[in-house]
Amino acid sequence: MFEATEIKRLIGENLPCEFIEIQGDDGVHFSGIVVSAAFAGKPKVRQHQAVYATLGPLMGNEIHALQLQTFTPEKWADVRQELGF
């Protein structure tokens, strides 16, 4: 079983982020929000790939699924309240 806090730590250590929220209660399926200036100018698929890269071989093994919402800091400022943050 894997912990959401460990996923958050790995992402934060390997990608400059302004905000990370990871949730999951079964140890293999997770969801999260990641906000990073590194996402600027990149399509969503590249943003998600950047996050998955921080987790390396854990993706698809210990972590079966990670559903992501990714935002630039500017977009996050626009949507964070409607998402409850």
List the CATH number of the domain containing 20: 3.30.300.90
Quote the pLDDT of residue 25.
Answer: 84
How many domains does one find in the chain? 1
Residue 32 lies in a domain: yes
Pairing, β 65-71 against β 19-23: unpaired
Q: What is the pLDDT of residues 7-66, one digit of tens each?
A: 999 999 999 999 999 999 899 999 999 999 999 999 999 999 999 999 999 998 899 999
CB 12 within 8 A of CB 35: no
| Residue 46 belongs to some domain of the structure | yes
Expressed as residue numbers, the domain containing 21 is: 4-79
What does the pLDDT look like over 5-23, one tens digit per residue? 999 999 999 999 999 999 9
Taking residue 8's Cβ as centre, other Cβ atoms within 10 Å add up to: 18
